[in-house]
Chains A and B, each alone.
Chain A
Amino acid sequence: MWRYTFKRLLQGVITVWFIATATFAAMHLVPGDPLASDKAVSEEIRANLEAKYGLNEPVWKQYTIYLGNLAQGDFGISFTQKNRLVNDIIREHFPVSATLGLLAVLFAGLGGVIWGALTALYRNRLPDIIIMFLVILGISVPSFVVAAFGQLGLVSLNNLAGFNVLPVGGWGTVAHMLVPAMVLGLSTMAYLTRLMRSSMLEIVSSDFVRTAKAKGLPPTRIFTAHQLRNAVLPVITVLGPAIAAITTGGFVVELVFAIPGLGRYFVEAVQQLDYTVIMGTTVFYGAFLVFMVIAVDVIYGFIDPRVRLE
């Protein structure tokens, strides 16, 4: 298991290198001089940047400088904001996105497992039909529409109540996080519910559940010890990609709810063509996702004995 973990981590590092290289390549294929397009850069900053990134050097030299900086965890300096390091920007805004994402993943995971198990148990009966209808809706409605209606709901709620039950936007307290996290987790929850449902249905009709029944176990014990545990496993395997979906989905939610997260910052940076911030954020997100997927796989290995002992 430890060897497996180590192997995965090594693969992860190589993957991050690939992401960094692809990012570098993409940004260097941008037509024109990145500095020339930006009027806000003063002569002073320009000189600094040129020295730091070796912008007058050949591309391969720039690439080695870039990789060297990355290896030291240095993402560079912002183009548009004076004296601001990309590292600072990430340090400041990422925790917000991460908190929001974590809440959303929790919401999506718990909701998905509970609703999925429920629909499987009530298969083809009213609760199943209602929940699956909502799930199909959740999968089919784009995240920004959900976000918009979430905000609309908040406004109407506050109007109805006559005071601010929950803040409509912004960041800071748990009250700020609640609705955005739910909005962000919704489509993933819908997806996980579907997955959990089919997984649960497969388990319900599986041979070992029949064995458990033949043993005369009470239904609650069959549900907890035999069905739930096995049905949750496939849900855990997709948590990695689900985290990725939620993290990038965060862009929209952060925009709509005015949350000072990294996603919103990234969109702003793109609009201002702040190249170092774009590159830094992309590589950072890429690395984060790669290691999240690895973390989920390793955790899965500890839960499923079949993987653990391989």
Chain B
Amino acid sequence: MADPVLSVKNLAVEFDTYGGTVQAVRGVDFDVERGKTLAIVGESGCGKSVTVQSIMGLTPMPPGRITSGSAMMGDIDIIGRKTINGEDIRGSQIGMIFQDPMTSLNPTMNIGSQIAETLIVHRGYSSKQAFARAIELLDMSKIPEAAKRAKQYPFEFSGGMLQRAMIAMAIACEPPILIADEPTTALDVTIQAQILDLLMELQRNNGMSIILITHDLGVVARMAEHVLVMYAGQIVEHGPVDEIFYRSGHPYTMGLRAAMPTNDPNAEQRLTPIDGSPPDLFHPPVGCGYFARCPHAMRICAEQPPQAHQLSAAHAAKCWLHHEANTQQVAQINLRDHAGEEPS
């Protein structure tokens, strides 16, 4: 991939807990392209948030620990660094918005000041300038009566409005990368669409890259150019959005698709949940992490971890089904009705 803004290699993160050490992220690689949106999907606890928070230096350490890996912006590894060429990474190089806007803003500080704070710290604005700019940013984020709203406190805002304010705050210093960690999960559906539209519009206008973390495939389809599917702390499949949706290479991705409602009136399929729960990351399995839940599991899957198999130029999946020694027809498995597969 040409000219990525951010290139993450072999990132691994552990957490020490009372129960032992959790290997939350187990060797993750990906690139973020300039001006594009990269989606990371996966269920709760698969390591999506930990991945980006480690890059941002937001994982509490201890108990967290980055055991290996790098995240290159240009030729500088930003893991464990605070600044690039004197510029702070957080806030001015990478902006971030979070899942729950209701709790992600300081309840005792007005919205305008919280946005202005960023500008004062990173851009050296006077507090007056910064507040004026904060109002402009709120306006850009489509908050009506921005001047009046800027003086209000978070509890006076609705969830959607708060997320707009969060976005205004994250883009205040025009960072080249915006990380959106489940930005619409806590919002209702109509508001979700508005927030996603706002993000896309801002991306068109200032050309930033977005890392979008979500478990909502609908959001992925709408926003992303490239998709990473994470499971049990690893990337099991990645590729362009269309290939992920129409030529899924990993049974987990297929399972996610089968569990997602469609609006195709002809499709008479029931939603199929993925049985079981993710493996215990205190003791990650020797073989494939998805083995215990996979409808296509084979003997080898329990014994050896699968390698990434390139399915097309930008599409790869970590699954033994694609190994040349396998005689089953993967394409057939993929095309068959997923719902009818599971005998149990």
Contact = CB atoms under 8 A, between A and B. Distances in A.
Q: Which of A211, A213, A216, A225 has the most CB of B within 10 A?
A: A216
Contacts of A212: 106
B88 interface: yes
A232 to B, nearest CB: 10
A205 B104 CA distance: 11
Interface size class of A (residues with CB under 8 A): 20 to 34
Interface size class of B (residues with CB under 8 A): 20 to 34
B60 interface: yes
Nearest to B119: A215
B168 to A, nearest CB: 12
Interface of B: 56-58, 60, 88-92, 95-96, 98, 100, 103-110, 117-118, 121-122, 153, 155-156, 166, 169-170
A216 B91 contact: yes
A211 B166 contact: yes
Contacts of B58: 210, 213-214
A230 B156 contact: no
Contacts of B169: 211, 215
Interface stretch (A15-23, A94-102, A238-246, A302-310): A302-310
A226 B103 CA distance: 13
Given A215-B117, A218-B121, A233 B108 contact: yes
> Chain A interface secondary structure, helix, strand, loop or mixed?
helix
Nearest to A306: B155
A68 to B, nearest CB: 46
Interface string A189-207: 0000000000000000111
B108 A216 contact: no
A305 B103 contact: no
B117 A217 contact: yes
B118 A216 contact: yes
Across the A-B interface, give the 5 residue pairs with the lowest CB-CB distance, nearest first. Answer: A216-B91, A216-B90, A216-B88, A214-B96, A207-B103
A226 B96 contact: no
A210 B92 CA distance: 16
Given A216-B121, A305-B155, A306-B153, A211 B98 contact: yes
Nearest to B122: A216
A233 B95 CA distance: 29
Contacts of A229: 108-109
Interface string A96-131: 000000000000000000000000000000000000
Contact of A207 (B88, B104, B109): B104
Contacts of A149: none
